[in-house]
Amino acid sequence: MFNKLALIGIGLIGSSIARATRLKGLAKTIAISTRKEETLEEARALGLGDTYTLDAAEAVRGADLVILCIPVGAYLPVMEAIRDALEPGAILSDVGSVKGQVMATLGPLVPKGVHFIPGHPIAGTEHSGPASGFPELFTGRWCVLTPAPGTDPVAIDRLTSFWGALGSNVECMDAAHHDLVLAITSHVPHLIAYNIVGTVADLEAATQSEVIKFSASGFRDFTRIAASDPVMWRDVFLTNRDAVLEMLGRFLEDLSQLQRAVRIGDGPGMEALFTRTRAIRRSIITAGQETAAADFGRPHGNASAVPEPVAEVLFREHGGGEDA
């Protein structure tokens, strides 16, 4: 589908793209660039690409598809480094969890003739690094594209076909709407997970050890989400601040109502809420974004098995981290 694919960053998402692209023969050449020598050598040892370089501009020269697989906070300096090396007619995309800020930051810097189509594969695990990727990561998951009005439809079709070949269901969406949807389906759940696990970290040592020892599935699953890459999620909250604050405000209002129901002993009110939320869970399973199996449907027979892609709420955010 492409002569040369350049991946800037080779963590969970980047390495999964590389593996799936290689497996399905979607690019003749895969160029990999990252800022850390040790990460680059790990990718080389895994055979994820054809060429490897610490120079992002070198990686994108001659590429007809360039995908930024780095934390959104690193986009600006990388874009400044590669803009003059981008080929006319090339497609420039990314995998970031925030799209409005990405379009505002990168859009003005994209050279004329380069097709800028931001993207977000909504898939991932809590693991990071080149070795964490696997080619099935995107199978059955959604990938949202947020092209600006006037973007070349042929380029959009090419990128849509690429993600479809990786196994994703692809949908185009307005960037602001994407950020609002992801704020409640992914960003706020991550924020809550970080906070709950942080509360445990602040407990006195004896109580903390008991919480860890007797962790039930609810807290245990929060710790999985809270194990996601700190740098990537710091950047997500900083760049999607308005949407996160809006959805967090709604959540806090609902939490206050639930707090009152518990305080006054409103059993019928709590049961009604829990019935509604149970229906949401069932709709996620029906939509194919999760299985009915316990513990997020993850297998436990082989502890060394490659982690399965996991659905969270409506969409599973691309947790895990990308090489910065």
When pLDDT is cut at 50, 70 and 90, the band that residue 203 belongs to is: confident
- Pairing between β-strand 119-122 and β-strand 142-145 as defined by DSSP bridges: antiparallel
Among the ranges given (35-39, 168-172, 209-213), the one the predictor scored with the smallest mean pLDDT: 209-213
* pLDDT at site 320: 41
**Spatial CB neighbours of 145, under 8 Å, sequence gap ≥ 6:** 93, 117, 118, 119, 120, 156, 159, 160, 163, 170, 171, 172, 173
Number of residues written out for the chain: 324
173: number of Cβ within 10 Å: 16
**Helix axes of 230-239 and 188-201: crossing angle, nearest 10 degrees:** 130
What are the structural domains, with CATH classification, of the chain? Answer: 2-174 (3.40.50.720), 177-297 (1.10.3660.10)
**Contact 65/117 with Cβ under 8 angstroms?**
no
Closest-CA residue to 144 (of 106, 190, 176): 176
In which region does residue 239 sit, left (phi positive, over 0), alpha (psi from -120 to 50) or beta (all else)? alpha
Higher pLDDT, 321 or 21: 21
- Give the Cα-Cα-Cα angle 166, 172, 175 (nearest 5 degrees): 120
Element housing 195 (H / E): helix 188-201
With 80 as the cut, is the pLDDT of residue 66 above it? Answer: yes
Average pLDDT, stretch 194-200?
83
**For the chain, the helix, strand and coil percentages under 3-state DSSP, each to the nearest 5:** 55, 15, 35
The pTM of the full predicted model, rounded to 2 decimals, is: 0.75
Average pLDDT over residues 40-45: 95
Instruction: State the SS3 of 110-168.
Output: CCCCCEECCEEEECCCCCCCHHHCCCCCCCCCEEEECCCCCCCHHHHHHHHHHHHHCCC
Which pLDDT does position 228 carry in this prediction?
75
